[in-house]
Amino acid sequence: MSSKKSPPAPPAAKLLKQPAETHQTAVEGEAHLTTNQGLPISDNQNSLKAGIRGPVLLEDFILREKITHFDHERIPERIVHARGSGAHGYFQPYESAADITEAGFLQDPKKKTEVFARFSTVAGGAGSVDLPRDVRGFAVKFYTEQGNFDLVGNNIPVFFIQDAMKFPDVIHAVKMEPDRGFPQAASAHATFWDFITLTPESMHMIMWAMSDRAIPRSLRMIEGFGVHTFRFITAEGVSRFVKLHWRPTIGSAAVVWDEAVKISGADPDFHRRDLWEAIERGDFPEWELGVQVIEESQAAELDFDLLDPTKLIPEEIIPIRKLGKMVLNRNPDNHFAETEQVAFCPSHIVPGIGFSDDPLLQGRLFSYLDTQLTRLGGPNFHQIPVNAPRCPFSNNQRDGLRQMHVHKGRVAYEPSEISPPSAPRECPMHGFRTHPEAETGEKIRKRSETFADHYSQARMFFRSMTPPEQNHIASALAFELAKVEIVPIREKMLGHLANIDAALHQTVADALGMPAEGGAKITPAVAPRDLATSPSLSLIGKDPQILKGRKAGILLTEGADAALLSALQAAFKKEKAAVELIAPKIGGVTLSDGTPLAVHHALSGGPSVFFDTVAILATDEAMNDLVREAAAVNWVRDAFGHLKVIGYSVEAAPLLEAAGVEIDAGTILLDGPKGQRAYIATAKAGRRWEREPTLRSIG
């Protein structure tokens, strides 16, 4: 059984001297940062560890006070991830993973393990909208036969900070500014960028947060990541490091920013409604659980530190092994009782899974449990049905607020000679065993030099994007920084961008109307390197080009061609896409064959932003009125502007003309079976990115 330090450092781990830009220190006569007891704090950047790469110590009373106060700031709403959507389902492995872990739920391909998944935004409150530019939480509770396992991650594989000591700070910075109570669910404001520009370790995450990943098309189409390095441990005690991934089987997709803004106004519950309705119609969301397995010898060869949560391992270096599939097939019976009261804790693990010394993960192991004590009314939150294990559980913990169990007997301790044979006792044979690690090192508040490269992976991510995605990142940065009224903050961010990519730096500077040479000079702690690009990081680059799980909107007028409508509906059904009908009035239309037809939306309540592709079936007579209807013109204009494929009957051509649509490869005339087949094939290919440069500029 190995007892080596985990994982080996890449180059020698030296003490990292923090660049002056990352924090400010008090000088004589200025206020000192202190604990709540008045004790001056010498280091507010790093938690106390056993050696520079060792585990965080429970002794760190400064970290515990800071995190504890932060955890209890909001009652009862979650401080982060407050707005969530959840669903029940199951997980089923493809084959036994006994060669890498003894975790029971990963052994039998015939065994289904019940799960509950919750997806969320991070920054906004419970009443905010679904589509701000934000990270998405992706948490799954596995109700295994060995107890509950919570995989608590995000739709982005890295994070803003390297040490849990800074978590309250990054969240305070991105939340509403405390004096004015806004902006809600938005990072486009001064306090966030003030913090970010003073925290170079955030630069990789910023590239992700400004990318299309932050405005997903659907919760059913987001990827998920465990973020941290975990351990898988076999029954024989062999330990390996792992990175965990969720991949949607229908592929990942995003909306464009203008679309996100309009969706938020038309339907603030867009993601929540989409998830609910997909499950209700039997279009069950699916994800494959994958793992990158890293041997200790491989960890030492990586060009970054595996304990650094601001870094990822490109799939081109270590491929993802698929372990099994999660299917969500049942909506909650009660949103509050389940989605709101579900409690996820990274410390909820099962035999075969363990932790690394990642300092952000180490802080989360303390923080999440502490948070539940406030949110859910005390130490018995595990008795709430959505949190209760599905396997038997028993111990000697008693009483406490909201105790629901009536425990019998006189003994609530062990060892005991008077307790009955059925009393719970420890189980050395089958119980959880912590993987042994030899930890040495002085107690220290420093960061390893192996954590010091803040720009190389940020550069790799940006350069791995397709041109449209790069333009979106630049446009997002320009939009966000334009909301920052403090010019030196903008200048400092431009200085960071210069370290990431010269073209990105110039583009954002131009969009802001600021001279590129006027940006602040940021000297990196470690000079950025040109890493090999990772095509697997691009959403557009790996678009599966399918209609399954997508939604088509068909705009109908009175007298619309019944046969054409039927043919389109059949074609979309064959592709496993949902179809919704829109008419000028919610009362519906009468088709060409005299059939009265109910619709899903009135034109005013069913904008084209709701759909992945659209079609228009009209008559000449109805078109005379429709071309003068602003809602109809905007419906088409938005669909074209959001780069969607548009199918149209010949009678609908005047509406396209009124909307200023120039016929291109993404506007298909539905003239018989050939035109219908061309429309479906083109819609499967997704958005028409070649259209975008002619429609909008960066900034």
Q: What is the pLDDT of residues 469-520, one digit of tens each?
A: 999 999 999 999 999 999 999 999 999 999 999 999 999 999 999 998 888 9
Q: What is the pLDDT of residue 4?
A: 42
Outline where DSSP puts E strands in 185-262: 224-225, 230-233, 239-248
Structure tokens at 680: 């479906």
Residue 47 contacts by C-beta under 8 Å, 6 or more apart in sequence?
A: 56, 57, 60, 63, 163, 164, 165, 359, 362, 363, 445
Q: What is the DSSP string of 88-133?
A: EEEEEESS--TTT---GGGT-TT--EEEEEEEEESSS-TTS-S-SS
Q: Please report whether residue 280 resides in a domain.
A: no
Mean pLDDT of the 455-470 span: 98
Give the CATH number, domain containing residue 603.
3.40.50.880
Indicate whether 635 belongs to any domain.
Answer: yes
Mean pLDDT of 189-198: 98
- What is the rounded (10 degree) CA torsion for 690, 696, 698, 699? -160
**Is 687 within a domain?**
yes
What is the number of residues in the chain? 699
Q: What is the pLDDT of residue 672?
A: 93
**Dist. CA 235–CA 223, nearest whole Å:** 30
pLDDT band at 6 (very low <50, low <70, confident <90, very high): low
Per residue in 522-535, pLDDT (tens digit) is 999 999 999 999 99
The residue among 530, 465, 514, 545 whose CA lies nearest residue 210 is 465
Give the mean model confidence (pLDDT) for residues 602-618: 97
Backbone angles phi, psi at 582, to 5 degrees: -125, 140
Whether the Cβ atoms of residue 287 and residue 153 lie closer than 8 Å to each other: no
Euclidean distance between CA atoms 159 and 205, whole angstroms = 6
Looking at the chain, the whole-number percentage of residues with pLDDT higher than 70 is 96
Residues 637-666 pLDDT 10s: 999 999 999 999 999 999 999 999 999 999
pLDDT for 3 beyond 50: no
Domain extent for 615 = 551-694
In whole angstroms, give the CA distance from residue 584 to residue 624: 13
pLDDT tens digits along 229-250: 999 999 999 999 999 999 999 9
- Four-residue CA torsion sign, 234, 240, 245, 249: negative
Question: How far, in Å, CA of 551 to CA of 278, rounded?
Answer: 10
Residue 580 counted as domain residue: yes
The predicted structure's pLDDT at residue 20 = 42
Phi, psi of 592 (to 5 degrees): -60, -25
Q: What is the pLDDT of residue 28?
A: 64
Mean pLDDT of the chain: 93
Quote the distance between the C-alpha of residue 698 and its chain's center. 25
Q: Which of 208, 209, 201, 165 is nearest to 22 (CA)?
A: 201
Whether 452 has a pLDDT exceeding 70, the answer reads yes
> Which range has the top average pLDDT, 42-46, 418-422, 677-681?
677-681
Q: Which residue has the tokens 């947060």?
A: 209
Q: Is residue 156 part of a domain?
A: no
Asked if the structure places residue 493 within a domain, the reply is no
- Say if residue 161's pLDDT is above 70: yes
Q: What is the pLDDT of residues 95-117, one digit of tens each?
A: 999 999 999 999 999 999 999 99
If one compares 13 and 609, the residue with the highest pLDDT of the two is: 609
Q: For residue 132, is the peptide bond before it cis, meaning its omega torsion is within 30 degrees of 0?
A: no
Query: Per-residue pLDDT tens for 274-294?
Result: 999 999 999 999 999 999 999
Report which of 569, 539, 540, 564 is spatially closest to residue 552, judged by C-alpha positions.
569
Q: What's the pLDDT tens digit per position in 533-592?
A: 999 999 999 999 999 999 999 999 999 999 999 999 999 999 999 999 999 999 999 999
- Please name the residues in contact with 633: beta carbons below 8 A apart, sequence gap of 6 or more: 627, 655, 658, 659
Tokens of residue 286, six digits: 């699916």
Identity of the amino acid at 582 = I
Query: What confidence tens digit (pLDDT) does each residue in 82-92 have?
Result: 999 999 999 99
Total Cβ atoms within 10 A of residue 34: 11
**What burial class does residue 42 get, using C-beta atoms within 10 Å of its C-beta: 0-12 exposed, 13-18 middle, 19+ buried?**
exposed
| Catalytic residue ranges | 81, 154
Residues 6+ positions from 487 with CB-CB distance below 8 Å? none
pLDDT value at 297 more than 50: yes
What's the whole-number mean pLDDT along residues 38-42? 77
Give CA–CA dist 243/1, Å, rounded.
Answer: 22
Counted domains in the chain? 1
Query: Which contiguous run of DSSP H or E holds residue 363?
Result: helix 359-375
Residue 1 in this model has a pLDDT that exceeds 60: no
Question: Is 300:444 a contact under the CB 8 Å cutoff?
Answer: no
User: Which pLDDT belongs to residue 29?
Assistant: 65
Structural domain includes residue 446: no
SS3 168: helix
User: Residue 486 falls within a domain, yes or no?
Assistant: no
